Amino acid sequence: MSTVLLEEEMTDTPAAPARLLSAGPAAPGQEAAWEQFTKIPLPTRTDERWRFANVKDLDLSPYLQPQPVDETTREELLARSRGLEKAAGRMVFANDQLLSREVLSESLTRLGVVWLPLEQALVEYPDLLQQYFMREEAILGGQKFAALHASQVRTGMLLFVPRGIEIDLPVEAFHWLHGANSSCFPHTLIIAEERAKVTVVDYYESADTNAPGLACAVNDLWLGAGAQVTYVCAQNWSREALAFQINATVVGRDAQARSLFAQLGGRHVRSESVSHLRGPGGRSDMLALTVADNAQEVDARTFQIHEAPNTSSDLLYKNSLDDAARTIFSGLIRVDPGAQMTDAYQKVRNLLLSDDAEANSAPGLEIEADNVRCTHGATSGQIEQEELFYLMSRGISKRAAQKLIVNGFLQEVIERLDQPEIGARLAEMVQAKFAAHR
């Protein structure tokens, strides 16, 4: 026995990665979350919050704890981390390990701005984490996966923008998943104080677009009075990945949050996004676009909670579905008693491109105040033959015409972001997905 140990210690090869389910917490201090994770059962079909979802797909047993990547892989992934032309700063992570952190604009070094990997922030700013780290409970059905994240998270991005500071260019983070059956737990925590302004883009990518893997991400946005935060998450995991992402956005008085989730990759993707309109005058724009093909399942759950009067929220989710893809949109608007003068909108549009595609929509309202304006709408349809014919009559092939129309369909979401550079990047990613489609 001792010889075996000795050999392992002496060689450079690491021990075989542990299975996630038998790994336990990532570090001391995460035991409670682990215990919670093991205690909560997997979702079942009868759970309303998992209605329509293929819950059989949620088996976590194949996945392994993340392993550090070697130097060659590091170089390769850094080279592949192509972000925006102009960014204020960029962090690159692979398998929950920080590969690089570059400050590109001096606005990131302004007085009081904290931009650190999570593990370093934990040492230098424990109070901030104490106050904000995963303080909003996952309430849309994903508690088990939130607990898993809390028990496994090793790194991520903390961005704290103090009062009145505006960061001119977007801040970016890349999260890479590397190796078959590997897992990763990306974390993004943005805290914008009074009148602070910032844009953050997360890119989720897999080194191998066909490798199975597990990603379980949390991104929380905190907006103080009058703050403006734009958050974009471009999800492009491998086509065999099981992915979760849990978002909470807390909007203070007169603050404006805008989030966009682009769902491109993954085999089974579950996205939960909650906006708490907590201060009067607050506004949250919740956007998403999905390009689903093959047997992809993209399951989006949203919640617009109007906790204060004079708040507004506007949600637009658009799904394009090809092959045997399935999408689920289940969203709820809740207007608490006393949250008068609320304006809340929710719109989901499904474009079905194949006879085997399936779109499920469950847009919901729960209104407990009377002086409100709330509407929601859901439509499911296909490309109009007339429209297609018109384009084809101009010499465009059917396939190209379809792509044009789908692009136009998704463009509305991208335009609502009102950030042309990021929009162009997203459009490019959508194009790449179309190009890869067999």
Stretch binding other proteins (CB under 8 A), from 142-150, 188-196, 287-295, 371-379: 371-379
CB atoms within 10 A of CB 192: 28
Side chain identity, residue 197: K
Q: Does 369 participate in binding other proteins (rule CB under 8 A)?
A: yes
Structure tokens at 255: 């603050």
Q: Which of 70, 168, 366, 428 binds other proteins (CB under 8 A)?
A: 366
Spatial distance between the Cα atoms of 100 and 299, rounded to a whole number of angstroms = 32
Q: Which of 29, 68, 126, 377 binds other proteins (CB under 8 A)?
A: 377
The minimum distance between CB 318 and other proteins, in angstroms, equals 15
Q: Does 109 participate in binding other proteins (rule CB under 8 A)?
A: no
Residue position matching structure tokens 């309109």: 277
Q: Does 380 participate in binding other proteins (rule CB under 8 A)?
A: yes
Structure tokens at 94: 């692979």
Stretch binding other proteins (CB under 8 A), from 85-93, 146-154, 234-242, 370-378: 370-378
Measuring CA to CA, which residue among 317, 306, 316, 318 is closest to residue 345? 316
Measuring CA to CA, which residue among 106, 112, 111, 113 is closest to residue 89? 106
Q: Does 437 participate in binding other proteins (rule CB under 8 A)?
A: no
Judged by CB under 8 A, the number of residues near other proteins is: 41
Side chain identity, residue 384: E
Q: Does 365 participate in binding other proteins (rule CB under 8 A)?
A: yes
Spatial distance between the Cα atoms of 111 and 280, rounded to a whole number of angstroms = 29
Stretch binding other proteins (CB under 8 A), from 97-105, 236-244, 263-271, 353-361: 353-361
**Alpha carbon distances (Å) from 230 to 199, 338, 361:** 5, 28, 26
Q: Does 360 participate in binding other proteins (rule CB under 8 A)?
A: yes
CB atoms within 10 A of CB 35: 14
Indicate the residue among 52 and 145 with the shorter CB distance to other proteins: 52
Indicate the residue among 147 and 353 with the shorter CB distance to other proteins: 353
The minimum distance between CB 361 and other proteins, in angstroms, equals 4
Stretch binding other proteins (CB under 8 A), from 131-139, 211-219, 277-285, 337-345: 337-345
For residue 270, give every residue at least 6 positions away whose Cβ sits within 8 Å of its Cβ, in sequence order, or none. Answer: 53, 142, 145, 243, 244, 245, 299, 301
* DSSP line for 190-246: EEE-TT-EEEEEEEEEESSTT--EEEEEEEEEEE-TT-EEEEEEEEE--TTEEEEEE
Contact, 252 vs 280, CB < 8 A? no
Question: CA torsion angle for 11, 17, 22, 23 (degrees, to 10)?
Answer: 80
Indicate the residue among 38 and 382 with the shorter CB distance to other proteins: 382
The minimum distance between CB 326 and other proteins, in angstroms, equals 9
Q: Which of 67, 247, 361, 419 binds other proteins (CB under 8 A)?
A: 361
Contact, 8 vs 15, CB < 8 A? yes
Write the interaction track for other proteins spanning residues 227-266; mark x where CB under 8 A is met and - where it is not.
Answer: ----------------------------------------
Site for other proteins in 34-93 (CB under 8 A): 46-48, 51-52
Q: Which of 29, 112, 126, 381 binds other proteins (CB under 8 A)?
A: 381
Indicate the residue among 118 and 335 with the shorter CB distance to other proteins: 335
Q: Does 362 participate in binding other proteins (rule CB under 8 A)?
A: yes
The minimum distance between CB 331 and other proteins, in angstroms, equals 11
Spatial distance between the Cα atoms of 29 and 16, rounded to a whole number of angstroms = 24
Q: Does 337 participate in binding other proteins (rule CB under 8 A)?
A: yes
Interacting residues with other proteins (CB under 8 A): 46-48, 51-52, 337-338, 340, 350, 352-383
